[in-house]
């Protein structure tokens, strides 16, 4: 089991990384690529150990889901960055106005310094390696706080990263909520947090004490809209996959489904058929991931009970689960008073909300906090554009779920209560870099024409020319 990091050690770790950064303010592209290739090698060489360890933290986690949803995008993200670091690092020329010639202007991308990363429990590998990749690509030092709910994975990742990085470049810290609170109060040069909206507010408040800039990757209730005419089997197959990966313990999982009233029964039957095809049984099924711990399992059961006590109809796709394997439960006749329609679900519970027109569905979404993701299922291009232009979400998939997060050339981030800032892609490099403006002049200094004393005829002529 892990050795928790003493809170008193945090400042020493940060100080060591700050001193190391000061000794190497601008690592070369070759150095950054070397770091990332070393990271890739150690992850690729320990695939089975990573899968086994994450599964142990969950009581059972599908190895295939860990490979598909954590290891594969982590390795691909490293490859993507390695191929582009040299291009991203190149200074970008900017224009200089006529009044300030002769001169040149450019943007130089400089590492921020030391980046803090707070990792949630649901995807402990991908949500630590993704930010680490972006921060290293930008030339930074990185401190990672792993979730206390995945202690085995935290310990393993600490050991793996120690194989290839000194502590003053990358380090992992472990501990309970008190250590996480102390971590968020450290004077980082940037802090990235992935987790709930409620905790995100505390992180931002703590970071504000040091004016530390933050990237918040939060969650919320990500809706999926079924159009009036899409073949139901097409939509449901993709929704079922997006909902059931990691047993719904995904920040961008479909949280509730907006279905035309006349198609609700059709949706329920299609979902029942599809999920049973994916998972013929739950007991001893290696493909079906468990809920992270009994406390979260009880929270989900309480959410279902709260809804049914207020008139919702619960439809369990399987008759029973096994241990922490919880069956997918559909909820009909839900209302805003129910807990399931107020809080992010984060598990295999799926409310279904009926609607009359597409604009009704979009109004329903706009009346609620802006979600991290929005999913629309319909093949009519004009309706697709209507959805895009009349909704706000961190990211959107048309006729799919989740997979926008795996596109390495797309930024990932939320909006409003679902987060702020982006990482992944070029935007990730920019998040972890300072875009330093550089204005350069040589011997000739035309600006002296506007130096005091003011009121000369040449100054008046210049002002007349540029202020016309």
Rounded average pLDDT over 407-436? 95
Residue 317 has pLDDT above 90, yes or no: yes
State the pLDDT at residue 1: 54
Query: What domains can you pick out in the chain, each with its CATH number?
Result: 7-218+418-435 (3.40.605.10), 223-410 (3.40.309.10)
Residue 113 has pLDDT above 60, yes or no: yes
Known active-site residue 171: no
pLDDT band at residue 319, thresholds of 50, 70 and 90? confident
**Candidate list 51, 82, 171, 251, residue with the active-site label:** 251
State the pLDDT at residue 468: 82
| Contact residues for 6 (Cβ-Cβ < 8 A; gap 6+) | none
Q: pLDDT tens for residues 137-159?
A: 999 999 999 999 999 999 999 99
**Candidate list 185, 217, 237, 344, residue with the active-site label:** 217
Give the strand order in the sheet containing 92-94: 92-94, 104-111, 433-440
Known active-site residue 176: no
Going by C-alpha positions, the residue among 283, 245, 21, 308 that lies closest to residue 142 is: 21
Rounded average pLDDT over 288-305? 96
State the pLDDT at residue 448: 86
Q: pLDDT tens for residues 2-19?
A: 678 999 999 999 999 999
Range name among 277-281, 296-300, 320-324 with the lowest pLDDT average: 320-324
CA–CA gap between residue 150 and residue 154 (Å, rounded) = 6
Where is pLDDT greater, at 171 or 219? 171
């Amino acid at each position: 089991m892990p050795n928790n990091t003493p809170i008193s050690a945090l400042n020493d770790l940060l100080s060591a990384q700050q001193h190391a950064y000061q000794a190497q303010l601008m690592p070369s592209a070759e150095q950054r690529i070397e770091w990332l290739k070393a990271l890739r090698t150690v992850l690729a060489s320990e695939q089975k150990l990573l899968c086994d360890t994450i599964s142990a933290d969950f009581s059972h986690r599908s190895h295939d889901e860990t490979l598909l949803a954590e290891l594969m995008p982590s390795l691909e993200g490293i490859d993507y960055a390695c191929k582009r670091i040299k291009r991203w690092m190149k200074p970008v020329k900017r224009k200089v106005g006529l009044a300030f010639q002769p001169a040149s202007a450019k943007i130089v991308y400089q590492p921020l310094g030391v980046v803090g990363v707070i990792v949630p429990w649901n995807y402990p590998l991908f949500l630590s390696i993704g930010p680490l990749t972006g921060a290293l690509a930008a030339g930074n030092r990185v401190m990672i706080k792993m979730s206390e709910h995945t202690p085995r994975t935290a310990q393993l990742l600490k050991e793996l990263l120690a194989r290839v990085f000194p502590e003053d470049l990358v380090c992992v810290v472990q501990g309970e909520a008190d250590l996480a609170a102390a971590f968020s109060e450290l004077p980082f040069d940037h802090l990235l947090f992935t987790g709930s909206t409620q905790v995100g507010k505390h992180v931002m408040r703590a970071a504000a004490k040091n004016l530390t800039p933050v990237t918040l990757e939060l969650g919320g209730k990500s809706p999926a809209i079924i159009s009036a005419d899409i073949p139901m089997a097409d939509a449901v197959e993709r929704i079922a996959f997006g909902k059931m990966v990691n047993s719904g313990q995904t920040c961008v999982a479909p949280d509730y489904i907006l279905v035309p009233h006349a198609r609700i029964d059709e949706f329920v039957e299609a979902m029942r058929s599809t999920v049973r095809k994916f998972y013929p049984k739950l007991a001893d099924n290696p493909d079906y991931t468990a809920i992270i711990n009994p406390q979260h399992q009880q929270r989900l059961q309480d959410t279902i009970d709260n809804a049914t006590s207020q008139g919702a109809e619960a439809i369990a796709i399987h008759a029973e689960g096994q241990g922490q394997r919880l069956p997918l439960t559909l909820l009909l006749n839900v209302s805003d008073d129910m807990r399931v329609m107020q809080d992010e679900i984060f598990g295999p519970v799926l409310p279904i909300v009926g609607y009359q027109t597409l604009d009704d569905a979009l109004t329903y979404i706009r009346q609620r906090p802006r979600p991290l993701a929005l999913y629309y299922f319909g093949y009519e291009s004009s309706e697709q554009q209507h959805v895009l232009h009349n909704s706000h979400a961190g990211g959107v998939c048309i006729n799919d779920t989740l997979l926008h997060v795996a596109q390495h050339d797309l930024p990932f981030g939320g909006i409003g209560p679902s987060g702020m800032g982006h990482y992944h892609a070029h935007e990730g490099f920019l998040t972890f870099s300072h875009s330093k403006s550089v204005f350069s002049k040589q011997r000739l200094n035309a600006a002296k024409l506007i130096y005091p004393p003011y009121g000369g005829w040449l100054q008046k002529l210049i002002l007349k020319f540029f202020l016309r």
